[in-house]
Structure 1
Amino acid sequence: MKRVVALAMLAAVLLPARAGAQEICPDRSGYAPAREIVADLGRIVAPEGVQEEYAVEIGGIRQWVSVRGQDRDNPMVLFVHGGPASPVIPTLWQFQRPLEEYFTVVNYDQRGAGKTLVLNPQEAVADTLHVQRYVDDAIALAEHLRSRYHKRKLVLMAHSWGTVVAMHAALQRPDLFHAYVGIGQVINVRTNEQVSFDYGLRTARAKGNAEAIREMESIAPYPGDTPITRERIIIARKWPQFYGGLTAYRADSKYFYQGPRLSPDYDDAARCAINAGSVFSLGRLLDEFLQVDFTGVERFPIPVVMFMGRHDYTTPSEPTAAWLARVQAPYKQGVWFEHSAHMMPWEEPGKTLVSLLEHVRPRAIDDAPAK
């Protein structure tokens, strides 16, 4: 039980695992009537629209895909979720519907996550959990979507851990994408760790929180020259997020953690697979994740837009802003979300939509159907 709780907290390195990971998957069948209402509200009824969910073989396993939009001719967005193993599909009902009027939005459960975890034997997936394999999956899925939906290119959008995957995909296959949108972008993991820790300790001292000070000083200097272990990360990330570094002005994010209970796309078995996926994936990916560093990328091959939360201390925005200021790209734009931390689409959904319409859709609207 302690190991499950610790790994759930460790997920806060990128995007926290759903709260209640220590629960043994309680029955939530009482939420069924509410799920039906959410499903009806979100149903795509426009004749030219698309609403599909299906499994497709990508990278040797079956991966779960959701495609939603009011008009098939709109630009298509491929969204790469955070985590790892924190799928967006069970909470997309909270923010995505307005986006679907202007984009066809594709979400998928990555290997080791959500419904994809359920679809495949874990022993067939465990040894494949490497960053480059996730990148290859995103590229293969983009090619599949281009063919299936007759798109020349896609918009690539990612959140948190997903930005590691998507940045690599954009750099390796820029021909597939109109533009890249990073939300809570990871640039350099060690820098992020230090900025986040410093914020948490500074705030704890200002507020006289003896418990937080004691815990954080026990691992200082952080990260320092000492190896970044699970135990150190758990302490380092606990207090910055308590002080609004995950969701601005909030000590917790129950709206997100408990959102899957009302998801019309996830039954209880799939919902319970979210926490199982975190436990399954985190330890296998941690060493590679800690080596992530995009600071040496001086040229970006496609238009790049960064959504940066002013209060984000999960993947702090300062390194992203600094990288964006010096990178060369066909088009670049940073958008500050003044009332957000890490969860920008959930915290400021209106600004998310407006920013996509202003900076991204014009770069994809000329898309012609693939021949």
Structure 2
Amino acid sequence: MKPLRALFALSAFLALFTGAHAQTPAAEAAYATARTMIADQQRLLAPQAVEISEAVELGGLKQWITIRGSDRANPVLIYVHGGPGAAEMGRSWPYQRGWEDFFTVVQWDQRGTGKTLRHGGEAANKAQLTRARMAQDLIELMALLRQRLGVERVVLLGHSWGNVIGMDAAMAKPEWVSAYVGVGPLMNLQANERAQYEALLAEARRRNDATALAELQAIAPYPGEGEIPFAKVNVARKWVQAYGGLAAYRDNADFYFRAARLSPYYAFEDRLAIDQGGQLSVPALLPDMRRADHLQIRATRFPVLMFLGRHDLTTPASVIEPWLAQLKAPVKKLVWFEHSAHLAPHEEPGRFLVSLVEQVRPLALR
């Protein structure tokens, strides 16, 4: 594996992109036909609906967002995607339409990936590609939406890496947050990798998988102290995928990676920019990922809900459960997705929607 691809692997699931966007002209023509049908089916035509796709300036860089909802009176929810570099805008169409009946949903391609990378260029995107700048981008996005949509507070939903900058922004502006939802949250990289390794060893022993045990034991101690060797990361990620720790009951997540092919919002070049974004973002943000430690947060002024996949080996729940237990918050809840790993919105879309409506929306309407 090339060094850059090894870096890619450290980003929770971006190493699994191999071949995700290769296609023929005939296939692209078929995708274009399907995208037209999906776009028509997902049109929002109610009098109070909002359906926007545009670039807005955040931190001096034009960054792409979509704002979609059937009723402007609904609470605003911002999806803070993971990776870094794993833009969700193009992959959200299989599950998001149901959300839009209860929330005004904002998807945002962070600096360094997706449409933001494609349209702004690598140099402009890389110039300030840091955790601090991206958290401030999110704060600026929150401010823009508060003014534009006439709301006081928003729901922040962070997925994986998105919880690093999502929680940064929430702690900086707690009065703007009606509820915080963590999905497969990355809170502390070292603790995460340690728990992941222990879970992989236990699963390999349970299966009596001699090959996995030999490969996993060969990288001990993992993650060790200081910098995590990429060769070791590659071994761990290989078995996370093989054991359904990225997508439950599957040894791959192609259904997720390839969803952007049918997105009404993504052209072929935008899809390529997700892969390019991972290769740009992970090396740039790796030092910030190592330093991030939200396990040190002891109290919040906003409700905190953790939506955890029972089978998630990418960001194991064993790191999150004790932290949530000691956290002081106005409301705190742990919601399990019994048939999900790291991609719960995609793996259990119906249950995820019900959980948002029953657990999160009442907090947002207070």
Report the secondary structure of 2:73's partner residue: coil
Separation in 2, partners of 1:71, 1:296: 38
Equivalent residue number for residue 20 of structure 1: 18
Residues 80 and 166, structure 1, Cα contact 8 Å, conserved in 2: yes
Equivalent residue number for residue 307 of structure 2: 307
The one-letter code of the counterpart of 1:196 is Q
Q: Over residues 160-188 of structure 1, what are the superposed CA-to-partner deviations in whole Å (9 max), with x where a residue is unaligned?
A: 11011111111111111111111111222
How far off its partner does 1:6 sit? 3.1
In the alignment, structure 1 residue 158 sits paired with structure 2 residue 158:
yes
Q: Report how many aligned residue pairs link the two structures.
A: 364
Equivalent residue number for residue 291 of structure 1: 291
Separation in 2, partners of 1:140, 1:337: 32
Separation in 1, partners of 2:309, 2:22: 34
How far off its partner does 1:31 sit? 1.2
Report the secondary structure of 2:237's partner residue: helix
Q: Over residues 70-108 of structure 1, what are the superposed CA-to-partner deviations in whole Å (9 max), with x where a residue is unaligned?
A: 101100101100111111111111111111100000011
Equivalent residue number for residue 39 of structure 1: 39
Equivalent residue number for residue 87 of structure 2: 87
Residues 75 and 104, structure 1, Cα contact 8 Å, conserved in 2: yes
Equivalent residue number for residue 209 of structure 2: 209
Separation in 1, partners of 2:344, 2:202: 24
Residues 15 and 160, structure 1, Cα contact 8 Å, conserved in 2: no
Residues 8 and 21, structure 1, Cα contact 8 Å, conserved in 2: no
Equivalent residue number for residue 168 of structure 1: 168
Q: Once superposed, which parts of structure 1, at least 4 consecutive aligned residues long, lie more than 4 Å away?
A: 21-27
Report the secondary structure of 2:180's partner residue: strand
C-alpha change, 1:5 and 1:24, in structure 2 (3 Å) is farther
TM-score, with structure 1 as normaliser = 0.93
1:262-301 equivalent positions in 2, closer than 5 A: 262-301=262-301
Separation in 2, partners of 1:184, 1:97: 21
Separation in 1, partners of 2:86, 2:145: 22
Separation in 2, partners of 1:323, 1:2: 36
The one-letter code of the counterpart of 1:352 is F
Equivalent residue number for residue 181 of structure 1: 181
Root-mean-square deviation (CA, aligned residues, Å) is 1.8
Which stretches in structure 2 are left out of the alignment for 5+ residues? none
Report the secondary structure of 1:74's partner residue: coil
Q: Over residues 297-329 of structure 1, what are the superposed CA-to-partner deviations in whole Å (9 max), with x where a residue is unaligned?
A: 111111111101111111111221111111101
Separation in 1, partners of 2:303, 2:171: 11
1:221-236 equivalent positions in 2, closer than 5 A: 221-225=221-225, 227-236=227-236
Equivalent residue number for residue 74 of structure 2: 74
Residues 83 and 162, structure 2, Cα contact 8 Å, conserved in 1: yes
Equivalent residue number for residue 143 of structure 1: 143
The one-letter code of the counterpart of 2:234 is I
Report the secondary structure of 1:290's partner residue: helix
Q: Percent identity?
A: 43
Equivalent residue number for residue 325 of structure 2: 325
Residues 87 and 274, structure 1, Cα contact 8 Å, conserved in 2: yes
Separation in 2, partners of 1:289, 1:4: 17
Compare 108-117 and 283-292 and name the one that shifted more.
Answer: 283-292
How far off its partner does 1:346 sit? 0.8
The one-letter code of the counterpart of 2:17 is A
Residues 6 and 15, structure 2, Cα contact 8 Å, conserved in 1: no
Separation in 2, partners of 1:222, 1:208: 20
Separation in 1, partners of 2:347, 2:21: 26
How far off its partner does 1:23 sit? 6.4
Which stretches in structure 1 are left out of the alignment for 5+ residues? 367-371
How far off its partner does 1:18 sit? 5.7
Equivalent residue number for residue 369 of structure 1: none
